[in-house]
Chains A and B, each alone.
Chain A
């Protein structure tokens, strides 16, 4: 190996330039520096030694560079002295960040000067000057988006004075997905690391329309205080990652983790990645970036859906009917009903109608009739423009409660007292501390609850793999479905008053309505399959309902729910439950839960519990 390297070094340095002799102690010393480790995306291997997150042969110049930072460094120094005639293929052109750093560290004054035209043009086009971290917030009807995504925007020197961030580039790290894997396969392969991860650089405008229009997510832009030099260093390194494949895992080695690494290349004094040994949830990474003092300024861009709802909000029922009529037929612009409205109300109605039209066109092929209607409405808006939209900034997502939750409860079930201990890996349920989260969205991943009854009798109370609920209110203009899915192990009433641990999968769909300002009512039809030891058959299906109200009050969120499951084997299981959260602080909550359960197998059971929730890390 070493022989090969020295041969390489000899052969390339023969003509003019001689690579300096770098003894292995010095190489080792340099390769141990955090900056070299960051440039190679190395991490400490689980059994000692190093491994790189990069899973791509062409990123390494040494044979086993992925595992030996020092060998990679030696090979890089040798390659820097290759003949300049290699042009764009020269290591200096392929690895500009490594080149700069090694030149500075080793004072390499006699390097050949290849013409890196591709890199130069690219860099001049990006023209990095400052950067912003972009966080598309959760979308209510897609609770999985609570895990979110982060990307970087690279601004030019005049971007801010000219307000032209629409012309900036976005740096995005994502799984590279071939063809049309469906959602479930995507989720599975994402978890299992079945996709390679790649960096891409694209117009920020493309990402904006993807998130704000297509997915209807609000965007948060955190302007970073990176200097032009630091920003340039980061972009320089991004070039080295062009078409380079990383391992990609949903939970840890994901977009957010990679962006934190980039920020550490920009400003080597930062230590961000070590805070996420297990999982990197995008909101958490936003928190980490903010805590490290990188954020200079925060800007909010509401989604198209939120803009539509904000525009329609002051309209009364008759005006909302006009909105629907206008968006169906622009001839209504001349109808007596519309023209009778005061001019400033007309402006609001036609703007709402235009937004509704565009909302409906979302993700569709261009339809000439619809385009004609939109255009007609635009002309009407042009004649009578509405006042600019004023949308109140919602709570900052990074100031919501932390993701991991420890739970400690005490309660009684009928006349037996118990203590309950729980841990939830992520993230938020309907009653949890509400700041920064949309009302009616729930996503929980991996929750374990263990109960200790009097007499030191221990039992697993529940193990939830995932619980997702999405309760999005319907209104005159938009009629989204509400839905939920859940699966795992839980205790249900069994024979003789026992609690039986069953495995189950269930789901439901229905509607949600805004009953008052902070009150949602929902009704869903549900289906369930479970494996229950007291049942004769191995798997028992059931159909049922789940209905209730959710009220955001002064203490916290209150939910009142009724549920029923009617099994094909005759068992009928129903429950009434009440949960009230008392939000003590950002990361502390107290919850009172009361529940009455009915089953054909046993008499009705009552349970009351008071539970402390600590949202931690």
Chain B
């Protein structure tokens, strides 16, 4: 019994360890806005208690959400792929013009602290251009953001680093 358990454990782990290339199915890259969350809340003595995990990942994903990191996609050591798991929050924050996910987006885009307020207001203004459909994915959001930044004299420098 124990041996079987161990076997499956390592199987799960090795799947996790295999990073997917951007666009690969398992890293969630290419998910559309409002992608459903995994799992359902269990309201009795289930996962609410003591925290359970169906897997035992061990990091090396926070920057990339399980996707492999390409140097060309990173800014200041952080990959904007990290935004992958925050698309819903980002869309909400950008619609309103403020919020933690929007700040995080500015940081991974390499926007300096003094330009972040400007970044928030410009992306808020162009929200409908950046999130242009309900089916938009992270990659398109990023491309659209760069296009918007290019049109702003103060922020254009952050769109050319790629």
Contact = CB atoms under 8 A, between A and B. Distances in A.
B13 A243 contact: yes
Interface string A142-154: 1011011101000
B53 interface: yes
Contacts of A139: 48
A386 B56 contact: no
A476 B18 CA distance: 47
A196 B5 contact: yes
Contact of A203 (B61, B91, B97, B128): B61
Contacts of B35: 366
B46 interface: yes
Among A122, A142, A144, A166, residue most surrounded by chain B Cβ atoms (within 10 Å): A166
Contacts of A151: 51
B143 interface: no
B19 interface: no
Contacts of B72: none
A164 B104 contact: yes
B142 interface: no
A363 B37 contact: yes
Contacts, number: 209
A190 B96 contact: no
Nearest to A175: B52
Contact of B97 (A196, A200, A214, A385): A385
A243 B9 contact: yes
Contact of A125 (B60, B86, B100): B60
B59 A125 contact: yes
Interface in B88-107: 88-89, 91-92, 94-98, 100-101, 103-104, 107
Given A375-B133, A386-B96, A215 B48 contact: yes
Interface string B26-64: 000000111111011111111111111111111111110
A358 interface: yes
B148 to A, nearest CB: 14
Given A243-B9, A255-B51, A374-B134, A200 B58 contact: yes
B8 interface: yes
Chain B interface residue number, banded? 35 or more
A204 B52 CA distance: 15
A391 interface: no
A126 B59 contact: yes
Nearest to B124: A382
A147 B33 contact: no
Contacts of A255: 50-51
A282 B49 CA distance: 10
Contact of A243 (B48, B51, B56, B89): B56
A362 B36 CA distance: 7
Contact of B45 (A172, A187, A362, A376): A187
A242 B133 CA distance: 42
Given A196-B5, A382-B127, A364 B134 contact: no
Contact of B34 (A166, A203, A206, A370): A370
Contact of A183 (B44, B89, B92): B44
B41 A215 contact: yes
A24 interface: no
A169 B95 contact: no
A379 interface: yes
Contacts of B32: 366, 371
Contact of B65 (A141, A147, A203): A203
Contacts of A370: 34
Nearest to B54: A177
A166 B104 contact: yes
Among A148, A172, A371, A372, residue most surrounded by chain B Cβ atoms (within 10 Å): A371
Nearest to B35: A366
A209 B85 contact: yes
A167 B78 contact: yes
Nearest to A171: B59
B63 A365 contact: no
Contacts of A385: 95-97, 124
B63 A364 contact: no
B100 A163 contact: yes
A250 B95 contact: no
Nearest to A380: B95
A174 interface: yes
A187 B128 CA distance: 47
B4 to A, nearest CB: 9
Among A121, A141, A165, A178, residue most surrounded by chain B Cβ atoms (within 10 Å): A178
Given A163-B103, A205-B86, A214 B62 contact: no
B56 A167 contact: no
A201 interface: yes
Nearest to B62: A203
B108 A142 contact: no
Given A162-B107, A374-B34, A202 B59 contact: yes
Contacts of B55: 176, 200
Nearest to B94: A382
B155 interface: no
A92 interface: no
A298 B63 CA distance: 26
B95 to A, nearest CB: 4
B39 A363 contact: yes
B54 to A, nearest CB: 6
B118 to A, nearest CB: 16
Contacts of B134: 368, 371-372, 374-376
A222 interface: no
Nearest to B85: A205
A374 B33 CA distance: 10
A349 interface: no
A78 interface: no
Nearest to B103: A163
A219 to B, nearest CB: 13
Contacts of B44: 142, 144, 183-184
Given A250-B49, A354-B92, A386-B96, 12 more contacts: A122-B59, A164-B104, A166-B101, A167-B63, A172-B51, A173-B51, A176-B54, A198-B56, A375-B134, A381-B96, A382-B96, A385-B95
25 contacts: A125-B59, A125-B62, A139-B48, A145-B48, A145-B49, A166-B100, A167-B82, A174-B51, A176-B53, A176-B54, A184-B44, A184-B45, A186-B45, A200-B55, A203-B62, A213-B37, A215-B41, A243-B56, A243-B58, A282-B50, A358-B88, A363-B37, A366-B36, A371-B32, A372-B134
9 pairs of A and B residues whose beta carbons are closest in the complex: A375-B134, A201-B59, A149-B51, A145-B48, A371-B34, A187-B45, A363-B40, A203-B62, A382-B95
